[in-house]
Amino acid sequence: MTPQSPRKPNHDQPPRKPRLGPRPQPVSSPGTVACSGCQRRFVKSRFDAALRVCPACNHHNRLPALMRVRNILDAESYAPLPTPAGERDPLSFDDGMPYRTRLEHERTSKQVDEVFHAATGTINGIPAAVAAMEFSFFGGSLGEAAGLQFLTVCKAAVQRGLPLVCFCSSGGARMQEGLVSLMQMARCTAAVSLLADASLPYMTILCDPCFGGVSASFAAQADIILAEPHARIGFAGGRVIEQASHGKLPAGFQTAEFILEHGMVDMICERKEIKSVVATLLGALEQEGHARSS
Amino acid sequence: MPEAADPASVTAREAQAFARVTLARHPDRPRALRLIELLFSDWTELHGDRLFADDRAVVGGPARLGNRWVMVIGQEKGTDARTRVIHNFGMPHPEGYRKAKRLMLLAQKFGLPLICLVDTPAAHAGVEAEERGQAWAIADSMLTMFGLKVPTISVIVSEGGSGGALALAVADSVLALENAIYTVAPPETCAAILYRDANQKARAALSLRPEVATARALGVVDELVPEPSPGAHAHPLVVAAALKGALVRHLCDLEAQPRDLLLEARWERYEDPAPGSIPPGSPSA
C-alpha cells in the first residue's frame, strides 16, 4: 500500500439521499445507461469497463454479482463455484401471488437462479474464494436457498483452505419465507464459524444497500469489513426508523461514511481499489500460512 | 390455485391470525423478570455491557434452577406504563446484546449452562441503535452463542421477533410457550415491507404463520410448553411450573452429553436450522 493511495474515500460530494420513490426514468437511447447518482448518460460498454462508477460524479452504481466476482479475480483464474439453489417454498406462502410464481418470475427475468454468485481463483496471485450477492434478484434477500449457498461457499473454502471474500448487498430477510428466512442468519453464523475454526481469513465488502438479516449476520461477522463509498448500510431501514422515532434523521445517516465514523467498518474503499486492498490484507493475514492445506 | 377467495372469509381468517399475535402480546403474560422469580432461586442481576450503558431491555445474571447454577439472560418488556418505558418495551439497543454477550462468555468461563428467555417484538429501531452498531451487536451475539462451550437453552416466552430475538436463540434446545409467536419480523414490519402499508398487519399475519406451532413444524422449536386456556396471562404459576419441568429435562439431557458431541449436534442443527415445511392449504390458525 502506498501512502498516497487514491483509495482514500471521496468526501467532497454529499452522500446521496435515500431514494424512497421509484427510480427516475430518464429518456433512454440505445446502448447507453444513466448514472443513478447524477442521471448523466454513458455508453454502456464504457460504463461497464469503469465498473459502473460514474466518471462524472463518482457514484458507485449497483453492480451485478457476476461482474463483482469476475472483476476481483485475476483474468483466467476465474472458476465458478457451483452453489445449488433448491426449490423450496417452506410456508406455501401465498398472499395474492404464490411465492413460487414470484420466484419463477424473478429467475426468468433476472437470468439468475438465486442471490449468490461464487467462484474461486486468485486475487493478485493470492488464491481465494469469492462470493457476491445479486441485489436485483429479490432485493438480495436472504432466503433458505441463499443461506444454503453461503454455507456451500464456506464449506468449499474450508475444504480447499481458501480465504473467503464476500460482497454483501441485501435488503435483509426474505419475508415470503417467514421464520425459515430468519433462521438463515443462524445458518450463516454457523458457516462463518467454520471459517474461523479453520483460521481462514474472511472479508466482507458492504455494498449499497446492506440491511437487516444480512448486515446483522455474516456481513458483520467478518475479520475485516470494507464498504463502498456512500453505500447505505444499517440494521433497520431509514423509513422504519423515521416512523418509529418521529424525528428527522441526521445528515448522512446510515451511509458508509457514517458507519465508518461510528467505528463499524475498517475502511471505505473505492471500487477500483478493492482488488488491491483485499489482496494486500489477505497477504497480511496469511503471512504465516498456518491455515493453508493443499 | 384454491377457489376464488371470499373476501369476507379472508378478512375473518386474517382477523383470526392476528388474534394470535394479540394473544402473544397480552399485557398480563408473565414477563422475563416474573418468570425468573418463578423458575429460579438466588437470582442475582448483573448490569451493564462494560462498553456504553446498561440496557434494561435485557436482564441477566446467575440463578439456580433446582440446585444447579445457570446463567439466565432475558428480554424484559415491563408490566406497566412506567416499567415498559424503563425496559423499552423489550426492544434492546446494541448495549443489550453486548451485555448478553458478556454474560454468555462469563457463563462459559465458569461452566454455567445458559438459559435465555426471549420476549421482544424486535431489536430497537432508532438513530442511536444504528450509530452504536445494532447489526454488529446482534451478529456478534449470535456468533458468540453459537460457539459457546456450555449447554444452551432458549425459550420463546411470548414474542420472538426478528434478529432481535434470534440473537438470544441460537441454542441447543429451543422451547416455546404454546401461545407465543416467532416471526422473521413483527407483522406490522412485514406488511410495511411486503405491501408498503403497516396497516395490513393482519394480512401479513395470515401469510406469515407467526404461531410457534409453525416453528415446531419447521423444526426450529423442539418443544411447546402447554398453556391452560385462555393462556399464560391467566395461569402464570401453572405455566411456570410446566416450563420449569421442561427446562430441567432439557438441561439434564444436554449436560449428559460430552461437550464435543454437544457442539457437533449444535453444528448439525444449524447447518439446516429449519428443514420442515408447512403444506399448502393447511390452516394458519
CB contact under 8 A, B192 and A240: yes
Closest-CA residue to B174 (of B125, B245, B90, B117) = B117
Question: Quick check: is B101 in a domain?
Answer: yes
CA distance B227 to B178: 6
Domain-located, residue B280: no
Query: Which chain B residue has its CA at the smallest distance from A225's CA?
Result: B136
In a domain, A40, yes or no: no
The angle that helices B134-147 and A178-197 make with each other, rounded to 10 degrees, is 70
Measured between beta carbons, which residues in chain A are less than 8 angstroms from residue B131?
258, 262
The set of cell numbers assigned to B200 is 395490513
d(CA A28, CA A136): 20
pLDDT digits (tens, 9 = 90+) for A79-119: 999 998 877 888 888 877 889 998 999 899 988 889 999 99
Estimate to the nearest angstrom the gap between the alpha carbon of B107 and the chain centroid: 19
pLDDT per position as a tens digit, A109-156: 988 889 999 999 999 999 999 999 999 999 999 999 999 999 999 999
Provide φ and ψ at A244, rounded to 5°.
-70, -35
Q: Which residues of A touch B284 (CB under 8 A)?
A: none
* Cross-chain residue pair A219–B135, CB shorter than 8 Å: yes
Q: Cβ B208–A91 below 8 Å, yes or no?
A: yes
Residue of B nearest to A216 (CA): B135
Distance CA(A293)–CA(A278), nearest Å, equals 21
Q: CA quadruple B271, A136, B205, B143: dihedral positive or negative? A: positive
Is B218–A179 a contact, with Cβ atoms under 8 angstroms apart?
A: yes
φ and ψ at residue A55, rounded to 5 degrees: -65, -25
User: Using a CB-CB distance cutoff of 8 angstroms, which residues of chain B are in contact with residue A221?
Assistant: 139-140, 143
Is residue A249 included in any domain, yes or no?
A: yes
* Pick from A91, A192, A254: CB nearest B130: A254
Distance CA A159, CA A176 (A): 33
DSSP H/E element including B30? none
Confidence band, pLDDT 50/70/90 cuts, at residue B104: very high
- Measured between CA atoms, the residue of chain A closest to residue B1 is A98
Task: Nearest chain B residue to A248 by CA: give it.
Answer: B127
Can you read off the three cell numbers belonging to residue A234?
Answer: 444499517
| φ, ψ (nearest 5 deg) of residue A202 | -135, 120
Q: Is residue A7 helix, strand or coil?
A: coil
Question: Do B143 and A189 count as a contact with CB atoms less than 8 A apart?
Answer: yes
A20 vs B95: CA distance, rounded Å: 30
Per CB-CB distance under 8 Å, the chain A contacts of B146 are 186, 189-190, 193
Domain assignment of residue A281, yes or no: yes
In chain A, what residues touch B183 (CB-CB under 8 Å)?
A: 178-179, 182
Residue for grid cell 398453556 = B227
Does the pLDDT of residue A259 top 70, yes or no?
Answer: yes
Q: Tell me how far CA of residue A45 lies from CA of A38, A41, A151, A274, in angstroms.
A: 18, 12, 34, 21
Q: What angle do CA A72, A75, A79 make, to 5 degrees?
A: 80
Q: H or E segment at B181? A: strand B181-183
Instruction: Verify whether the Cβ–Cβ distance B125 to A250 is below 8 Å.
Output: no
Per the CB < 8 A criterion, the answer to whether A113 and A152 are in contact is no
Residue with grid cell 439453489, as numbered in its chain: A85
The tally of domains found in chain A comes to 1
Residue A78 domain-assigned (yes or no): yes
pLDDT at A2: 42
Residue B214 domain boundaries: 9-269
> The domain spanning residue A256 has which CATH number?
3.90.226.10
Count of CB atoms situated within 10 Å of the CB of B283: 8
Its domain, for residue A84, covers 63-285
Interchain CB distance below 8 Å, A234 and B280? no
Q: What is the mean pLDDT of residues B219-227?
A: 98
Interface probe, candidates B142, B148, B216, chain A, greatest A C-beta count within 10 A: B142
Counted residue by residue, chain A has a size of 294
Give the CATH number for residue B209: 3.90.226.10
d(C-alpha A211, C-alpha A132), whole Å: 15
What was the pLDDT predicted at B199? 86
Q: Are A137 and A115 in contact (CB under 8 A)?
A: yes
Closest CA to A65 of A133, A148, A136, A118: A133
User: Is B57 part of a structural domain of the chain?
Assistant: yes
pLDDT in tens, B238-261: 999 999 999 999 999 999 999 999
A44: helix, coil or strand? Answer: helix
Annotate A81-95 with DSSP letters as a single string: ---------TT--BS
pLDDT tens, residue by residue, A200-234? 999 999 999 999 999 999 999 999 999 999 999 99
B274 within a domain of the structure (yes/no): no
DSSP-based three-state secondary structure for B240 = helix
- pLDDT band of A14, cuts 50, 70, 90: low
Contacts of A241 (CB under 8 A, 6+ apart): A249, B125, B126, B127, B130
A220/B270 Cβ within 8 A: no
Contact A91 B277 (CB under 8 A): yes
Model confidence at A13: pLDDT above 80: no
Q: Do B271 and A263 touch (CB under 8 A)?
A: no
DSSP conformation letters of B68-109: EEEEEEEE---SSHHHHHHTGGG---HHHHHHHHHHHHHHHH
Residue B283 belongs to some domain of the structure? no
Among A179, A192, A261, the residue to mutate for chain B (most B Cβ within 10 A): A179
pLDDT digits (tens, 9 = 90+) for A47-89: 999 999 999 999 999 999 999 999 999 999 999 999 988 778 8
Residue B23 lies in a domain: yes
Is position B188 within any domain? Answer: yes
Contact: A263, B133; criterion CB under 8 Å = yes
Q: What is the pLDDT of residue A6?
A: 46
| Pairing assessment for the beta strands B68-75 and B58-65 based on DSSP bridges | antiparallel
Rounded CA separation A229/A257 (Å) = 7
Of B170, B207, B270, the CB nearest to A93: B207
A120's enclosing H/E stretch is strand A116-123
The verdict on a CB contact (< 8 Å) between B183 and A175 is no
C-alpha distance from B72 to closest chain A C-alpha (Å): 21
Which chain B residues touch A144 with a CB distance below 8 Å?
Answer: 274
Answer yes or no: is B134 within a domain.
yes
> Considering the domain boundaries, does residue A44 fall inside one?
no
C-alpha cell at B113: 449452562
* Count of domains observed in chain B: 1
- Given a contact cutoff of 8 angstroms between Cβ atoms, the answer to whether A211 and A171 are in contact is yes
All three cell numbers of B75: 428480554
Q: What is the pLDDT of residue B134?
A: 98
Stated length of chain B: 285
Chain center to CA of B74:
9
Choose among B127, B133, B210: nearest Cβ to A245. Answer: B127
β partners of residue B73: B60, B116
CB within 8 Å: A185 and B135: no
Q: What is the ipTM of this complex?
A: 0.95
Q: From chain A, pick out residues whose CB is under 8 angstroms from the CB of B189.
A: 240
CA-nearest residue of chain B to A242?
B126
Residue A236 in any domain: the answer is yes
A85 Cα to chain B: minimum distance (Å): 14
Sign of the dihedral through C-alpha B265, B268, B271, B275 = negative
Look over chain A and give the mean of its residue pLDDT values, rounded to a whole number.
89
- Nearest chain B alpha carbon to A253: B127
